């Protein structure tokens, strides 16, 4: 009796969404992991880097394996490995364990995603439709990722971000098991690989650069909001959801422009423009992050779809070339994080040093009682020192407030001035990194210009 393809399509889409959303879900949990596992900003970055690096390296071999061993079996095994490693991530109590588990999780994820792209054409009826389902699932996952990650981290724990992936991966694996069983019973496995050319170098190179810029946008913005402006994970999640939301809402714009190269170029420019906007925020207020995020969101919707179409267009098998695009995107994320992390870590450290001195200078130059001001100077610098890079709420250093109304007003004014100084300093600490990320987006224009014109 023929089975309805719907559950299988849904399962494959769920698997792709789950794996490709991983980075955006986990990024909101990083500040909490950073604190709880008592590591450094550079150390916690490896939770993200390790996953993306392994996917970048494993995507193409995984696609080849999926074609040789059978995509159903590969997808099922990949999801099982992803789930098992997700469980290990959730139970990890030190950074090294977490990073090793993340590498294993990435191996499973690479296998599941590339196998899904191999299974989809037969399930939905055409390669083009398969590519659309695959890309939409990835985009939806990335759109829901930040909000989901933020809510889970704040309402439950950072561990729940990984633990929730376990049942979702297993649910996605169930409908795929029947394909795996069929492959086992018939023992008919397609071993032929149609040779239709090498991977599209320029499109994949541009994908890597743009992905580096986009990953930096999300990662840096989350750090700025949580570590710099002291937002909770839920608040930060809501703020950064503007980016994927703008991407989803503007996805129809891509249909209006047939020239994929023009869409890619416009997208890269918008991503860079948005990042430059984040680099020059005039004030430390959430509202001012919205317009740059909208530009980045529209830009990523245009550029990622256009470059993926260009990379896959007229090439088969889709799984192998899809593997190259996954590899490029994740390699870009790794490059972005590895290049920018030491830069903004150094900038944050410098900012902390400046903030301690600026805070003390503001207090010393204030008109509050000298006895109180020296005590305040020490308490504020202690708070700044303890937080190791995070800009703290300095309120507790100002407690208890003086009973005298005049002195109290002076202290409150001083507290406001000082917090403003620290917030602006924290915002400024991210500027260089945002500018460099914007440059990465602009450099992507060169491979885009060199890519073959594909009108779709």
Partner 1 sequence: MSGERRLSGTVLIVGAIAASLLLVGAYLAAGGSSYEPEKVQDPCKPREWTNPQSLGQIANQFTISALDGAACQLGVSRETLARALATPEARERFERRYGIDDEKLAKAIRAGLVRAVDDAEEAGALSPLIAVPLRETVQRIPLEQAIELINDAESFLGDVDSFLGPADDIIEELLPGGLGGLVSP
- Chain positions contacting partner 1, by CB under 8 A: 253, 255-259, 261-263, 265-267, 269-270, 272-274, 276-277, 279-283, 288, 291-292, 295, 299, 302, 351, 354-358, 360-362, 364-365, 367, 369-371, 373-375, 377-378, 381, 421, 424-425, 427-428
Which residue, 22 or 410, has its beta carbon nearer to partner 1?
410
| 21-131-76 Cα angle (round to 5) | 60
Of the candidates 449, 87, 44, which has an alpha carbon nearest to the alpha carbon of residue 227?
44
Which residue, 29 or 411, has its beta carbon nearer to partner 1?
411
Which residue, 37 or 217, has its beta carbon nearer to partner 1?
217
**CB atoms < 10 A from the CB of 42, how many?**
13
Pairwise CA distance, residues 142 & 135, whole Å: 11
Which residue, 94 or 382, has its beta carbon nearer to partner 1?
382
Which residue, 174 or 361, has its beta carbon nearer to partner 1?
361
Smallest distance from the beta carbon of 426 to partner 1, in angstroms? 10
Pairwise CA distance, residues 119 & 177, whole Å: 12
* Region for 237 from its dihedrals, namely left if φ exceeds 0, alpha if ψ lies in -120 to 50, beta otherwise: alpha
Smallest distance from the beta carbon of 279 to partner 1, in angstroms? 8
Smallest distance from the beta carbon of 266 to partner 1, in angstroms? 4
Which residue, 189 or 372, has its beta carbon nearer to partner 1?
372
Which residue, 370 or 400, has its beta carbon nearer to partner 1?
370
Q: Which residues contact 414 (CB under 8 A, 6 or more apart)?
A: 362, 363, 366, 368, 376, 398
In this structure, what are the phi and psi dihedrals at residue 455, rounded to the nearest 5 degrees? -95, 120
Smallest distance from the beta carbon of 245 to partner 1, in angstroms? 17
Helices 318-365 and 405-429, interaxial angle, to 10°? 150
* Alpha-carbon torsion, ordered 336, 337, 342, 344, to 10 deg: 80
Of the candidates 107, 334, 384, which has an alpha carbon nearest to the alpha carbon of residue 215?
334
Smallest distance from the beta carbon of 250 to partner 1, in angstroms? 12
Pairwise CA distance, residues 214 & 296, whole Å: 8
Which residue, 6 or 283, has its beta carbon nearer to partner 1?
283
Smallest distance from the beta carbon of 228 to partner 1, in angstroms? 13
Which residue, 330 or 373, has its beta carbon nearer to partner 1?
373
Smallest distance from the beta carbon of 213 to partner 1, in angstroms? 13
Smallest distance from the beta carbon of 300 to partner 1, in angstroms? 12
Is 174 within 8 Å of 11 (Cβ atoms)?
yes
Pairwise CA distance, residues 87 & 169, whole Å: 11
Smallest distance from the beta carbon of 379 to partner 1, in angstroms? 8
Where do the H-state alpha helices sit in 92-155?
A: 95-124, 127-155
Is 249 within 8 Å of 150 (Cβ atoms)?
no
Cα(first)–Cα(last) distance of the chain, in Å?
A: 38
What letter would DSSP give residue 286?
A: G
């Amino acid at each position: 009796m023929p089975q309805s393809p719907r559950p299988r399509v849904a399962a494959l889409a769920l698997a792709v969404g789950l794996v490709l959303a991983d980075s955006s879900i986990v990024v909101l949990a990083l500040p909490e992991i950073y604190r709880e596992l008592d590591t450094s900003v550079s150390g916690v970055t490896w939770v993200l880097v390790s996953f993306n690096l392994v996917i970048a390296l494993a995507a193409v071999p995984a696609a080849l394996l999926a074609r040789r061993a059978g995509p159903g079996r590969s997808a099922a095994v990949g999801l099982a490995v992803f789930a098992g490693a997700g469980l290990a991530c959730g139970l990890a109590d030190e950074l090294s364990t977490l990073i090793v588990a993340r590498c294993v999780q990435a191996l499973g994820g690479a296998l599941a995603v590339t196998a899904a792209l191999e299974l989809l054409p037969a399930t939905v009826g055409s390669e083009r439709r398969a590519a659309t389902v695959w890309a939409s699932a990835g985009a939806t996952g990335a759109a829901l990722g930040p909000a989901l990650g933020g809510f889970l981290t704040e309402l439950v724990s950072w561990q729940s971000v990984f633990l929730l992936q376990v049942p979702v991966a297993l649910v996605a694996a169930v409908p795929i098991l029947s394909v795996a069983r069929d492959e086992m019973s018939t023992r008919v496995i397609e071993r032929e690989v149609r040779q239709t050319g090498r991977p599209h170098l320029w499109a994949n190179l541009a994908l890597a650069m743009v992905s580096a810029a986009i990953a930096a946008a999300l990662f840096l913005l989350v750090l700025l909001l949580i570590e710099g402006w002291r937002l909770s994970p839920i608040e930060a999640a809501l703020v950064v959801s503007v980016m994927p939301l703008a991407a989803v809402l503007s996805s129809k714009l891509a249909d209006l422009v047939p020239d994929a190269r023009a869409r890619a170029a416009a997208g890269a420019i918008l991503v860079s423009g948005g990042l430059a906007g984040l680099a020059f925020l005039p004030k430390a207020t959430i509202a001012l992050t919205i317009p740059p995020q909208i530009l980045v969101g529209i830009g990523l919707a245009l550029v990622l779809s256009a470059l993926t179409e260009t990379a896959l267009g007229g090439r088969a098998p889709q799984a192998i070339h899809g593997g190259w695009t996954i590899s490029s995107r994740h390699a870009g994320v790794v490059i972005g994080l590895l290049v920018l992390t030491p830069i903004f870590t150094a900038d944050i450290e410098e900012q902390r040093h400046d903030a301690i001195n600026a805070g003390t200078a503001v207090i010393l130059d204030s008109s509050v009682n000298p006895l109180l001001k020296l005590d305040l100077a020490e308490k504020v610098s202690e708070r700044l020192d303890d937080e190791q890079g995070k800009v703290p709420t300095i309120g507790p250093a100002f407690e208890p407030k003086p009973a005298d109304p005049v002195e109290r007003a002076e202290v409150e004014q001083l507290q406001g001035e000082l917090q403003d100084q620290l917030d602006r300093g924290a915002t400024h600490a991210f500027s260089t990194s945002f500018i460099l990320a914007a440059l990465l987006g602009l450099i992507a224009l060169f491979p885009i210009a060199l890519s073959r014109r594909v009108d779709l």
